[in-house]
Amino acid sequence: MKNSLWEKQSFLSPDVIVIGAGITGLSAAASLKEQSPELTVSVLERGVLPTGASTKNAGFACFGSISELLNDVNTLGPEGMVQLVEKRWDGLQKTCQRLGRSMIDIQTKSGYELIFEEQSNIVEQIPVINELLYPFFQTDVFKTSNNKISKFGFANTYHLIENHLEGQLDTGKLISTLWKYCAELGIQIHTGCEVTDIKEQENQVDVICNEIVFKCKKLAVCTNAFSKQLLMGEYDLSPGRGIVMSIIPDSKLPFEGTFHYEEGYYYFRDYYGKLLFGGARNIAIEEETTTAFGVNEKIKEKLIDDLGNIILPGKSFQIEMEWSGIMAFGTNKSPIVKRVSDKVTIGIRLGGMGVAIGSLVGEEVAELILI
């Protein structure tokens, strides 16, 4: 298909193209225009809506439960864990400052981790993690709140560890507000535009999308789990599918806040009288290492069992809806942000923490492009 002169001038030849219209991609585009308003910037998104997990998560404004952070100490070391927490926190603050807290419905109701009998030794590590994080937060982050276990109605729970800094937000509002913000900056967003090939030329990058060829001077790839098919070389990157269910309880929920257990593999929160609950990827890791959307019935069954045995024991509920999102993981949870050539920069592998860290990764991508 031949394009017109007008199309080439106004749509197909921006200075910078960002592939991926999730939190990271839109944040990268916004940061580029904030720092260099004269640039023309376009975002290409394969779906009608963001494809990966940016609008398919449970809306946690968190930086890691204590068991997750203990695992990060093992894979990254104490200093690496602290640096990752700082990036996640700074990313959340960046999002709030850019878009406004009310626009993304962020609420700080505290976060909690349910600790079961076989994990009781985690409680002993609270002072260790608090000491590591104190220089940054200037407060103790974690404490035991066992008195709330019966108040919240949880069963088979031996300890409850509270994080008073954790919150929740509406990622649908986050993306729609970020979308509008990008439009106000003059960024063009093209949906239904699946990139099939990238070709670096001497003075430009050709980005092939369906039958259309976009041309740009610099390119950012922010497609997270879907990045391998676009990038040359080997990357420590594997997709991970996650399920979320919207639950309508037959009576008022006895708790508010965000909740995790088993190193964050399970997570739930209140949402205006409903319960959003997801996870259990750890019981079927191989099956869930996929970029195909769908609901694994074995995982769904496990989540329903936990609702009855742990979260809402003795209470009736209905499953209103269910969905899946695709995240990206590696041997550790640090994102990959780097220039892979003088024209191409990547910001990928958000480790299931895209809501928190996506804005900061996008900003780092923009800074590398502008060097």
Q: Does a structural domain hold residue 191?
A: yes
Q: Which domain holds residue 45?
A: 5-56+172-236+333-369
The closest alpha carbon to 320, from 273, 284, 283, belongs to 273
What pLDDT, on the 0 to 100 scale, is given for residue 337? 98
| Token pair for 356 | 């928190």
Q: Which residues pair with 200 in a beta bridge?
A: 205
In a domain, 130, yes or no: no
Residues 6+ apart with CB under 8 A from 230: 19, 195, 198, 221, 223
**Cα end-to-end distance, the chain, whole Å:** 35
Q: Model-level pTM? A: 0.96
Q: How far is CA 244 from CA 222, 300, 367, in A?
A: 23, 9, 34
Structurally, the chain folds into a number of domains equal to: 1
Is 89 a member of any domain?
no
Distance CA 279, CA 311 (A): 14
**In a domain? residue 148:** no
Average pLDDT over residues 254-267: 97
Contacts of 243 by beta carbon, 8 Å cutoff, 6+ apart: 278, 279, 280, 281, 295, 296, 299, 300, 303, 322, 323, 324
pLDDT per position as a tens digit, 21-51: 999 999 999 999 999 999 999 999 999 999 9
pLDDT tens digit sequence for 67-79 = 999 999 999 999 9
279: left (phi over 0), alpha (psi -120 to 50) or beta: left
Distance from C-alpha of 184 to C-alpha of 313, rounded to nearest angstrom: 48
CATH of the domain at 198: 3.50.50.60
Q: Which residue do the tokens 């860290």 mark?
A: 357
Q: Does 252 map to a domain?
A: no
Structure confidence at residue 220 (pLDDT): 98
Q: Is residue 119 part of a domain?
A: no
Residue 179 lies inside a defined structural domain of this protein? yes
- Distance in angstroms (rounded) separating the CA atoms of residues 272 and 280: 24
pLDDT digit string, tens, across residues 264-302 = 999 999 999 999 999 999 999 999 999 999 999 999 999
Q: What is the pLDDT of residues 125-145, one digit of tens each?
A: 999 999 999 999 999 999 999
